[in-house]
Amino acid sequence: MLRRIDSLRNFGIYRDFEGSDQSELPVFAKRNLIYGWNYSGKTTLSRLFQSLQFHDQPLPHPDGQFRLMLDDGTYLTDANRTPPTPVRVFNREYIESNFQTEHTAPAVFIVGREFLEQTAHLERILVAQEALNSRIRERRDGIDTINRQLNDAGTERARSISQLLGVRDFNRAHLQERVRTVRDAPSAYLLPEERIQALVETNRSGEQFNRIEPVSLSLPDLRVEIQQARELLRRTASFDAIESLRENRELEAWVREGLGIHDETNTCQFCGEEIQVERLEELRRHFSTASQELLLAINQGITRLKSIDFATPSIHERDFLQDLRNDASQKLSGLNAWLQDAAEIRQGLVAALENKTTALETPRTWDGDEGRFVEWTVHLDPLNDCIGRHNQRIQDMGAVRREARTSIEQHFAASHFVDARVAESEERIANLERRVGHANRAKDRLERIENRIEAQVNRTERGVEEFTQLVSFLLKDNEIRVEPIAQNRFQLLRGRVPASKLSDGEKTAIALAHFVTSLEGEGENLAGSIVYVDDPISSLDSNHIYAVSALIQERLEAAHQIFVSTHSSEFFSLLKARWLKDRELKDNSEGFYVVRSEDCEGSFSNLVKLPNLLRKFSSEYQFIFHQLHSFANNPSPTEFEAYAAPNLLRRFLEAYLGFRKPHIAAWHKKLDLILDSAESCREIHRLLDDASHLQRIGRALQEPAFIAITKARVNDVLLGLEEKDPEHYSSMVSTLS
């Protein structure tokens, strides 16, 4: 429920209204009656409420700003206009929107702007649905084409796999199952051609394979052997070496051999001459015991190296399962190559040591590759691992063939997944499926909207009878009647012939009937809606005021909250008696007054508390007198007050003079009851005829002295009333307090 208009700026005539600053301004109640003269700002208030009803449309005043307080303390603003409670507005725009542009006979009324919009919306929905159906068919055809291509490629690949395996039980379904296994990492399942051939042979093989004993190499610690050989090559045995022997190793070897046969004699066995003792000692020092020991160690090292067995194992790749043969061949080749290299390295060490035996006093080095000599486990362990896999698998040859078949199927499934671009095709299908899903959801939304609109259209059709009855009720003294001619289209007849034109009053009554009917239609929640009705008796004569008042009181008071604004004192009095004076209703009803003022910047309107004169008395006669009295005694009245004064003065004179001389119809012919001068009577008559029904304030103010002239004529009437009927004048003045 709306409680208050906190602020309303740049919204038509409401330049800078601050409701929150007015302590006397009451908050809105369930029933709210708003009174004001023509062009005071009532219709602008209805447009404020209309901006809440059509919150998704632009504001009627683009620069307008407002702030409305709700009963829960939250606010609606020009930036956030979505109300928690639906708002429905009846005003001049509603009347105009419910009728086509003026037409020739027959006059045809189409029920409601909303129906026009719904019908057009429904047509757009049908077009959009057909477009969506076309897109859905197109995308499903695309999906079918891709699936057909995938299925054809899958069938062809499954047939080739079946032929390769020599079986008939492998089909596209089996291929798709394998694809699901390999799709996350297809490259991991792709095999080289020779591997595939070996697996095929294994799968088809009926051979029986024997167990292969693991290869065992009895080798010493080769690092120790190399280290010992290098140490022997570095060692020397003599400290007093003879230079000539050291430089001539062949001579040194000859002398060493000859020195051994001269242990018992000092006679040279070669020349027969006597060898001096000093010379024998010198030679013995050259060939000391350490040399003999070094020579012995070198010979022992040579013997150990020659005893190492580097013979190749006696197994062949043919001994392995077909799919392991390639791997076994590589492992055997690697091991045999190492054994050959190791044998060659051993021969190099032996040759180096043998050369050392003839040069014991010369340090030697060996430049061979020690790493290659000791890396035999690098080749032996993989070979034994291959042997182990062979031995494990031959325990169940059926399982071996099944494993081979599985590997083949997975290879070709991975190949099919890559070659047929299955992932890309599936992504295209998924994308099309998503787009189909989007289209279907959009189609579902359109179908729901279509159903809702059709329900609303049907609801409008079901409300035809009630609508016709309301039109007859509001225009019961009128010849206008409603005759259905098509779905939600009515011919307006005047008597028995089509009504070629409708008066403003007739349009108002017909539009009001539709407004009430639409609020009570199926699916609508009048009790949950805020209803604003602006000048529902506009252009209607007094005979219709009671019907409209009864219609509002009987049919619209059930609304969650209702606002009615009017310029008609009679209509205002009828609703005031019901809402503001009835003991059961007045506590939840409130009255307001729209007042228009002027300052140096121009005209502006405000919403104020309903004045006591309007609230207290059953007639507006006292209030009109109050307005005229205030205008006459105001030293600087506003242009709007001057603009409204002729209409007020005429209404006052019609009421007063009609009571004094009811047998005379024309009010101006009874002015002599107040004024003595015939000139004054003619001047007032002319002023009121010209200015009491002006549609625009600007026209009245074209007369430069309009304010002064109007004020003078009002003073003439009040002074004449005081002089001719002082008792009535005094009584009226007393009511002002």
113 pLDDT higher than 60: no
- Local confidence band at 54 (pLDDT 50, 70, 90 cut-offs): very high
Q: Where are the domains of the chain?
A: 2-99+504-611, 222-393, 644-735
Q: What is the pLDDT of residue 441?
A: 86
The residues facing 90 across adjacent strands are 533
Q: What is the pLDDT of residue 460?
A: 55
458 pLDDT higher than 70: no
User: What mean pLDDT is reported for the chain?
Assistant: 82
Task: Please report where in the chains the tokens 């259905």 appear, as a residue.
Answer: 484
CB contact at 8 A, 14 and 65: no
Residues 119, 108: Cα–Cα separation, whole Å: 16
Q: Exposure of 663 by Cβ count < 10 A (0-12 exposed, 13-18 middle, 19+ buried)?
A: exposed
Q: What is the pLDDT of residue 104?
A: 38
Higher-pLDDT residue of 107 and 379 is 379
- Local confidence band at 238 (pLDDT 50, 70, 90 cut-offs): low
Residues of the chain above pLDDT 90, percent: 19
CB atoms within 10 A of CB 456: 20
Residues 259, 253: Cα–Cα separation, whole Å: 10
Non-local (6+) Cβ contacts of 193 within 8 A are: none
Residues 370, 322: Cα–Cα separation, whole Å: 36
User: What is the tens place of the pLDDT at every residue in 651-691?
Assistant: 889 888 988 888 888 888 999 999 988 888 998 898 888 77
112 pLDDT higher than 90: no
φ and ψ of 564, to 5 deg: -130, 125
Residues of the chain above pLDDT 70, percent: 86
Q: Are strands 589-599 and 602-609 parallel, antiparallel or unpaired?
A: antiparallel
Which of these CATH numbers, 3.40.190.10, 3.30.9.10, 3.40.50.300, 2.40.30.10, describes 2-99+504-611? Answer: 3.40.50.300
CB contact at 8 A, 552 and 542: no
Distance of CA 166 to the CA centre of its chain: 55
CB contact at 8 A, 1 and 562: no
- Local confidence band at 481 (pLDDT 50, 70, 90 cut-offs): confident
Q: Which run of H or of E encompasses 30? A: none
Q: What is the mean pLDDT of residues 120-146?
A: 85
- Local confidence band at 105 (pLDDT 50, 70, 90 cut-offs): very low
537 pLDDT higher than 60: yes
Task: Please confirm whether the linkage preceding 86 is cis (ω < 30° from 0).
Answer: no
The top-scoring range by mean pLDDT among 231-240, 262-271, 529-538 is 529-538
Q: What is the pLDDT of residue 703?
A: 56
User: What is the tens place of the pLDDT at every residue in 272-282?
Assistant: 788 887 777 77
User: What is the tens place of the pLDDT at every residue in 75-101?
Assistant: 999 999 999 999 999 998 888 877 655
CB atoms within 10 A of CB 229: 25
